[in-house]
Amino acid sequence: MKTSKPPQKSTPDQGLPTQVAFVSIDEEQAGQRLDNFLMARLKGVPKSKVYNVIRKGEVRVNKGRTKPDYKICKGDEIRIPPIRISEREPVAKASNTMTKLLDSSILFENEGLLVINKPPGLAVHGGSGVSLGLIETLRQMRPDARYLELIHRLDRDTSGCIMVAKKRSMLRHLQAALREKNTSGITKVYQALVIGEWPKSCRRVDAPLLKTEVADDERIVRVHADGKPSLTEFKLLNSFDKCSLVEARPITGRTHQIRVHAQYMGHALVGDEKYGSDEFNAQMRSIGLKRLFLHAAELGFYLPDAKEKTIVKAPLAADLAAVIEKLSDPKTTSQ
């Protein structure tokens, strides 16, 4: 009588499992989302496949089913099913143009952290029809790097400051800071062009946001009493004929927060195809705007054991700066 092979015991550095593998989570790995942990481990496996095996219950945490956003803990035992090599997508190669662009877009670097001025149109990671994102390109650029992971995300069309950890300890430190709601946390400053004249008196939008999943990667967010508490601070920077340049500081970190809070005030972001005005967007395309006008202009954070906050700034992306130059009759506002 044939006997089945026992499940494969796996260590974090082993490759794609050809039979069931069990991984014990250590302190360095703890705190990650389950989906992110699996995608980093199962390199080359389509994102859709990773989500599929989680939903089917083929991935188990401590013998139980769980969701993709579960935060793994020290001591957790994760069951990983066998993944056939044939299910892996061919790895795309980053172009020389993109690698040179990213290399010239580094705003800050030390032994544990990279801050990059992300170009517009570049997804932060591959998946959902995107073969190569920012993090995959960085890993190709630095094949000897032992660890490169996104600390937070920006939408594909959004340009500006994004942080990448070079050490697991830095990832944990800054992701913990992202959860803080006071000056010990991370401060983010965006610049956005909105439709109409933004009222100088509107400096805070405090409105709960409810997120609804309408497809695998499609989300709709709206102001709703059942939503999560959400706060954005706004400041008028410049007024133009039919729109305004504002500074937006999200105090909370909800999905599409700036876009939905601006829309709620009656001043949707220019170029926003989900929450904005198709008619106004068409007018702006005539002067060269080809995307959402949203730029992550500044990040402020404390490095481990540092007493002073590090401030990193990204100049307005060239395509957005060109639109500002074409807008008529700018009037500088004083706050």
Q: Please say if 35 is a catalytic residue.
A: no
The 3-state secondary structure of 45-64 reads CCHHHHHHHHHCCCCEECCE
One of 35, 103, 144, 155 is an active-site residue; which one? 155
Residue 262: which residues within 8 A CB-CB, separation 6 or more?
Answer: 192, 194, 205, 234, 246, 248, 268, 269
HEC sequence for 98-161: HHHHHHHCEEEECCCEEEEEECCCCCCCCECCECCCHHHHHHHHCCCCCCCEECCCCCCCCEEE
Cα(163)–Cα(144) distance, integer angstroms: 19
Q: Return the closest-CA partner of residue 243 out of 120, 333, 334, 328.
A: 328
Give how far the C-alpha of residue 85 lies from the chain's centroid of Cα atoms, to the nearest Å: 29
* Number of CB atoms found within 10 A of residue 102's CB: 20
- Cα–Cα distance measured from residue 57 to residue 75, given in angstroms and rounded to the nearest whole number: 20
Q: How many helices (H) and strands (E) does the chain have?
A: 8, 17
Catalytic residues: 155
